[in-house]
Structure 1
Amino acid sequence: MRNMALTLVLQALAAIFLVANAQTIRVANQGDALSMDPHALNESLQLSLTGNVYEPLVGRNKDLSLVPALALAWRATTPTVWRFELRRGVSFHDGALFTADDAVFSLRRAQSDGSDMRSYLSGVREVRKLDAHTIEIETREPTPLLPALLSHVYMMNQRWSEAQGIAQVGDARGAAGHAAALRANGTGPFRLAERRPQQRTVFERNMRYWGTIESNARQVVFLPIPDNEARVAALLAGRVDVMEPVPVQDIERVSAAGLVRVVTGPELRTLFLGMDQHSDELPYASVRGANPFKDRRVRQAFYQAIDIDALIKNVMRGAATPAALIVGPGVNGFQPDVKRLPHDVAAARALMAQAGYGEGFALTLDCPSDRYVNDAALCTAIAAQLATLQVRVTVRAEPKAQYYPRILRRDAGFYLMGWTPSTYDAHGALNALAACPRGEGAGHFNLGGYCNPRLDALLLQVQTQTDKTRRDALLREALLLQAADIAYIPLHQQALAWGVSKKIRLVQMADNTMPFKWMGVGP
């Protein structure tokens, strides 16, 4: 009996210790969000972090299916009008109630010139309030995917935003001087408690949250640790509880450690190379008065000079899948029968000669150094492969705090980028990346200026088509057209690899977001 009592006491003490240590979970990443403004940058890490503080009208479940968030229900009342019934009794972190005024304000803000989320609302004609808890969204054309398009458009408090001077997005690249870069007031399960860019960001549990928080954490501390070795060491030493990505060269070592595990899975993101196809003179290149990338033969030559199998083996250590399109498995519209152009240096050299560049030229490849798995190393390896065409590539690898502002102002001629369509539908990727750039948001991330009016016409048909069979056929035609034009050079889909303490439970999302409300300590 005494031993049983002692056991119960020890178990109780252990439980108390567990709860005490469950108050804070430390999460490390190779980079940091550039801003806490939910409309400033359409980038998965930034949306993942701000998505713990702010919420959309329509959310995503653990399996990425659509679920009610700040909208309880929605329906199309006409082919071009959607009505959203808003959740009642929801409070922002400052105590103000969420109303239709906030929803209308947020959608219009996300649609404005400074917003990086404009592509999701490019088809919206008008947003209007019907009553305190009902809004309507009118689109220019029938848009059956509208609820999915809204899943990353987060709601802000209108009065708070106006009082803070952030009714406009301001610098869409996340300038630290903008108040919304450092402050936040959402309805989400965690509130922003401290923001020190490139050092630490502290999130505290929202004790008045309207929904269910499965986490037992009172606080989550986010730590950007760009150095791979330092990030792995912090995990193995117990100084962080979760970190991502695990460098591919360290997966085996981390997996063998006793107190941590590696959680792996497929990722929806596709990495690709973008090329300036708009400028009359290619920036940061030795060619004067011409742009080689305007010639499809040059784009194809670059494509066929790249040995994707060697890149995956030597740079990615096998933790990636070759891509033939700008979308991959798991995205609606993916075409598994489409294959990459073959690696063929001789054919690539012949194409360069036909285009008048048989002696090659020099150019700059812009890459992030803290965004994708082994991103800088990947660019260095690509540069070496392109040397077989006598192309002299200077790799400019920068932290994403410098990289994103550069490429988003279209100050690059050749760049590495990755994309996960938030709708998990190929139309989202094509509309953002391959539509002719227009002021209303379509082609917002078409940074190379590729433009094919035939593709734009197909995308409009896809957007408005309600018959799934016909829509899928149109999607296929659009993807094949874009691939045939070599608007981009597809590379691969990288695998997810998170290093996680064995005391932590979490949900790994295929879009590489990390909802804190599903992360906790214990079984």
Structure 2
Amino acid sequence: MESPYFWSIAARPWPVCQTVRERSIMARAGSHIKQIAPGTPEATLWRRVTAPSWRGRPPRVRRLQYRSAFHTGPTPMRYHRPTHLLCASALLLTTALWGGAKAADITVGLSGTITSLDPHFHNNSSNSNVAEHMFDPLVARDAGAGIVPALALGWTLRGPTTWEFKLRPDVRFHDGRPFTSADVVFSLGRTKTVKNSPSSFALYTRAIKRVVALDKLTVHVHTDGPVPMLPRDLTGVLMVSKAAAENAATEDFNSGRALVGTGPFKFAAVRRNERIDLVRNAAYWGRQGQWDKATILLLPNESTRTAALLSGKVDLIENVPTQDVRAVAARPGFTVASAPSFRLMYLHLDGARAQTPFAFGLDRKPLARNPLADLRVRQAISKAVGRDALVAKVLEGMGVPSDQLVGPSGAGHAPELIGSRQDIAGARRLLAAAGYPNGFRITLHSTSDHYVNDRQVAQTLAGMLGRVGILTDVQSLPAPVYFARGNKLEFSLMLGGWNADSGMVESSMKALLAGFDPATGMGASNRGRYRSAAFDQALLAARVEFDDARRGRLLREANRVAMRDVGLVPLYIHTTVWGSKKGWNVTPRQDGRTYIHQVVRASAPK
């Protein structure tokens, strides 16, 4: 895939003064942070645009083109007069209290909630982002979502159902043991055996029938049928040490006892829900980056995350809150950068059960039948959503409205599905035809501070649904609670997000819409339990098709079927924004990952 371009903005000084919002941000900042570290970026993937002077004008932004499986084009950024930031005296005081950075230390603020440090427990982007600092896959993704060798030097299709992987020699785990084919056999098998997984990594290994170690550095992976995308699927599976993990439970990873990988950093310490401390792996086989010590701070609260950056508590944050992007870009000594992502935000609907737990009549009594089981109600919900307004007002342009699973440049895009504009009158007619002329009540469940602006998005959606007669209550929950309850099918309507880490729409289709099957890992995150024989047939046919054009046609048919059935309601595709101290250069990635070893400080501290 062609590498994406992105923009970056750095601004010269603006008059310094503290606003009400900034006082609120600072008041809510935590006090549990340290220093962190970057790595090496791909210089050809990005440019910086620096405004020579504000003088009452917004910075100049050069919009560059890219191509993505989901994204439709450059995301516009609209900059206005920047918000005034912290008073200089307050900034000096907080900097003096917290101390300065050490030469080879870095502190990074991540936005997601980590549900586990076990790299095979929960197929969740936030979990994987942290784990990938300590563990490596056989095949990795570059910043533009192309696949590149990692622990496997190369791979070859030896027959319709046999892939050969040649392993990188002289790789060692953090405890000094050599990485061999036995670890590959164990790791690929373990993905199917981890207990109580909210979203199983068997999604990527379901087609593997057996794995054979031919010698210490050669593995044959035999599949149930042709799987042309297996190398790309394996970008999502991290290799663990058989010696360290064979008798370990998920809790042994969470405590750090089993966190023995081959990655650029070694585990040092963890404080649950607060921070993870890492140290350099001096024996790392790849490019190590600049940092001896790295501290990952878990900062799901938006105000706290921004305050941590502006106060100097952290060197870099991901997912700059949309309402703070202009202020961070305007602040002297700070810069922002962005990249289109693969994260699709959507509504999951419980349309499979005769009754659903959170749907009520206007009198607040439970409904005798599940309104979401009616196609017309699902269509009405989709028509009630104003996607353009959602992105423009709630996300401040940091996303692209989407009415299907994939953008125009991606395999599976169906042009005839474009144009799902908000239609209030049409939604009301559909509800009346379904037997709900006056509407009904429902509860929308969402995470709180897990996805960008998730609570605000949920509240806005509730208002949009209310306009067509679906009176919607919102319950925003901490991510661990949300995922645990969602996995038990306790909700009726859910605001969710799926980051297709592999860069392919098959990932979203397999996880969110394929018929739920624990044995194969298909439909692992299909919490609405949508099921369509036509969809599954087209998806499975695409999975075994080597010809790109034919695979594209099959994926397009699967996309049509799911959207015609309103198996879920697509909302928008997220744009990832990073904020950092000026001179601390992050590598923006389409998969949304924040890799510390790819962060580079332009000049060493004095």
The answer to whether the Cα contact below 8 Å between 1:364 and 1:414 also exists between their aligned partners in 2 is yes
Correspondence 1:358 to 2:433: no
SS at match of 2:357: coil
Per the TM alignment, residue 337 of structure 1 is displaced from its structure 2 partner at its CA by 5.7
Correspondence 1:425 to 2:504: yes
- How do 1:26-41 and structure 2 match up within 5 A? 26-41=107-122
SS at match of 1:111: coil
Per the TM alignment, residue 297 of structure 1 is displaced from its structure 2 partner at its CA by 0.3
Deviation >4 Å, runs of 4+: none
Rounded to whole Å, the distance in 2 between the matches of 1:313 and 1:70 is: 42
- Which amino acid in the other structure matches residue 336 of structure 2? V
Per the TM alignment, residue 442 of structure 1 is displaced from its structure 2 partner at its CA by 1.0
What runs of 5+ residues in structure 1 fail to find an aligned partner? Answer: 1-18, 171-177
User: Pick from 157, 163, 187: which aligns with 1:106?
Assistant: 187
Per the TM alignment, residue 330 of structure 1 is displaced from its structure 2 partner at its CA by 6.2
SS at match of 1:310: helix
Per the TM alignment, residue 322 of structure 1 is displaced from its structure 2 partner at its CA by 0.6
User: Pick from 516, 519, 523: which aligns with 1:443?
Assistant: 523
The answer to whether the Cα contact below 8 Å between 2:334 and 2:579 also exists between their aligned partners in 1 is yes
Per the TM alignment, residue 408 of structure 1 is displaced from its structure 2 partner at its CA by 2.2
2:378 paired residue number: 299
Correspondence 1:193 to 2:268: yes
2:217 paired residue number: 133
Correspondence 1:205 to 2:280: yes
Per the TM alignment, residue 422 of structure 1 is displaced from its structure 2 partner at its CA by 2.4
SS at match of 1:195: strand
Per the TM alignment, residue 505 of structure 1 is displaced from its structure 2 partner at its CA by 1.8
Per the TM alignment, residue 28 of structure 1 is displaced from its structure 2 partner at its CA by 0.8
Per the TM alignment, residue 225 of structure 1 is displaced from its structure 2 partner at its CA by 2.0
User: Pick from 594, 597, 603: which aligns with 1:514?
Assistant: 594
SS at match of 2:472: strand
1:464 paired residue number: 544
1:234 paired residue number: 308
Correspondence 1:453 to 2:533: yes
Correspondence 1:179 to 2:252: yes
Q: Number of aligned pairs?
A: 493
The answer to whether the Cα contact below 8 Å between 2:107 and 2:316 also exists between their aligned partners in 1 is yes
Correspondence 1:220 to 2:294: yes
2:245 paired residue number: 161
1:64 paired residue number: 145
CA change 1:369–1:253 in 2 (3 A) is same
Q: Percent identity?
A: 34
Rounded to whole Å, the distance in 2 between the matches of 1:85 and 1:265 is: 33
2:105 paired residue number: 24
- Which amino acid in the other structure matches residue 66 of structure 1? I
SS at match of 1:192: strand
Per the TM alignment, residue 329 of structure 1 is displaced from its structure 2 partner at its CA by 5.7
2:160 paired residue number: 79
SS at match of 1:460: helix
The answer to whether the Cα contact below 8 Å between 2:120 and 2:194 also exists between their aligned partners in 1 is no
Per the TM alignment, residue 130 of structure 1 is displaced from its structure 2 partner at its CA by 1.9
Q: Deviations over 1:108-156 (max 9, x none)?
A: 0012263521111121222222222222111111000000000010011
Correspondence 1:368 to 2:447: yes
1:249 paired residue number: 323
The answer to whether the Cα contact below 8 Å between 1:408 and 1:447 also exists between their aligned partners in 2 is yes
Rounded to whole Å, the distance in 2 between the matches of 1:20 and 1:347 is: 58
User: Pick from 122, 135, 158: which aligns with 1:54?
Assistant: 135
Rounded to whole Å, the distance in 1 between the matches of 2:414 and 2:534 is: 20
1:498 paired residue number: 578
Rounded to whole Å, the distance in 2 between the matches of 1:224 and 1:329 is: 35
The answer to whether the Cα contact below 8 Å between 2:228 and 2:546 also exists between their aligned partners in 1 is yes
- Backbone CA RMSD of aligned residues: 1.7
Rounded to whole Å, the distance in 1 between the matches of 2:101 and 2:108 is: 17
Q: Deviations over 1:225-272 (max 9, x none)?
A: 233222212211111110121111111111110111111221121111
User: Pick from 331, 335, 359: which aligns with 1:285?
Assistant: 359
CA change 1:331–1:232 in 2 (3 A) is same
- Which amino acid in the other structure matches residue 500 of structure 1? S
2:171 paired residue number: 90
The answer to whether the Cα contact below 8 Å between 1:149 and 1:422 also exists between their aligned partners in 2 is no
SS at match of 1:31: coil
Worse-matched range after superposition: 323-332 or 287-296: 323-332
The answer to whether the Cα contact below 8 Å between 2:145 and 2:502 also exists between their aligned partners in 1 is no
Q: Hey, which of these two has a bigger chunk of helix by percent?
A: 1
Q: Deviations over 1:2-45 (max 9, x none)?
A: xxxxxxxxxxxxxxxxx973311111123332211001111112
The answer to whether the Cα contact below 8 Å between 1:35 and 1:182 also exists between their aligned partners in 2 is no
- Which amino acid in the other structure matches residue 180 of structure 1? F
The answer to whether the Cα contact below 8 Å between 1:368 and 1:376 also exists between their aligned partners in 2 is yes
Correspondence 1:267 to 2:341: yes
2:395 paired residue number: 316
SS at match of 2:268: strand
The answer to whether the Cα contact below 8 Å between 1:364 and 1:394 also exists between their aligned partners in 2 is yes
SS at match of 2:221: strand
What runs of 5+ residues in structure 2 fail to find an aligned partner? Answer: 1-99, 361-365
The answer to whether the Cα contact below 8 Å between 1:276 and 1:414 also exists between their aligned partners in 2 is yes
SS at match of 2:119: coil
The answer to whether the Cα contact below 8 Å between 1:200 and 1:221 also exists between their aligned partners in 2 is yes
CA change 1:518–1:329 in 2 (3 A) is farther
